[in-house]
């Protein structure tokens, strides 16, 4: 199938498919006589793997590692688990940071009168750095 069909089937844009190919996550597509990219069912399976990995928040580097592990039939599942565990730890750190940001902003919003006066604790805090 061509890139438009592959995009439709995978839920990715043609631009993203070309990008994944350019950075080596997806092997270079076969080409038709007229130069159009052609994708196989194996390519679609790889695109689905990449999309799901990205949907779970894995970085492109991590997706590359996961693809390598997925394609290596001799791999230890412990290697995959370790990578997933590391990603969970990073997600938990981000959740902690975002919760702290939310709490700080919530406090600032609570301290703002939100009326016609120009005094605003939110802007004052932002200006203070």
pLDDT value at residue 75: 94
pLDDT score recorded for residue 25? 96
Cα–Cα distance measured from residue 105 to residue 91, given in angstroms and rounded to the nearest whole number? 21
108, 122 Cβ separation under 8 angstroms: yes
For residue 79, what pLDDT is reported?
95
Q: What is the pTM of this model?
A: 0.82
What residue spans define the domains of the chain? 1-56, 76-129
Q: Give the closest residue to 60 by CA, choosing from 6, 96, 16.
A: 16
pLDDT value of residue 14: 97
Q: Please identify every stretch of the chain with a pLDDT value under 70, giving residue numbers as ranges.
A: none
Give the pLDDT of residue 114.
86
How many Cα neighbours within 13 Å face the side chain of 121? 12
1-56 has CATH 1.10.1660.10 classification: yes
Per-residue model confidence (pLDDT) at position 90 = 96
């Amino acid at each position: 199938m061509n890139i438009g069909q592959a995009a439709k089937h995978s839920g990715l844009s043609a631009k993203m498919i070309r990008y994944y190919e350019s950075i080596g996550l997806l092997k270079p597509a076969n080409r038709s006589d007229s130069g159009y990219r052609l994708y196989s069912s194996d390519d679609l399976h790889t695109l689905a793997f990449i999309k799901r990995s990205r949907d779970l928040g894995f970085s492109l580097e991590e997706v590359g590692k996961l693809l390598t592990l997925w394609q290596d039939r001799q791999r230890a599942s412990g290697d995959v688990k370790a990578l997933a565990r590391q990603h969970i730890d990073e997600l938990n750190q981000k959740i902690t940071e975002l919760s702290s940001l939310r709490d700080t902003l919530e406090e600032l919003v609570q301290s703002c009168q939100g009326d016609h006066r120009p005094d605003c604790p939110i802007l004052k805090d932002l200006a203070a750095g």
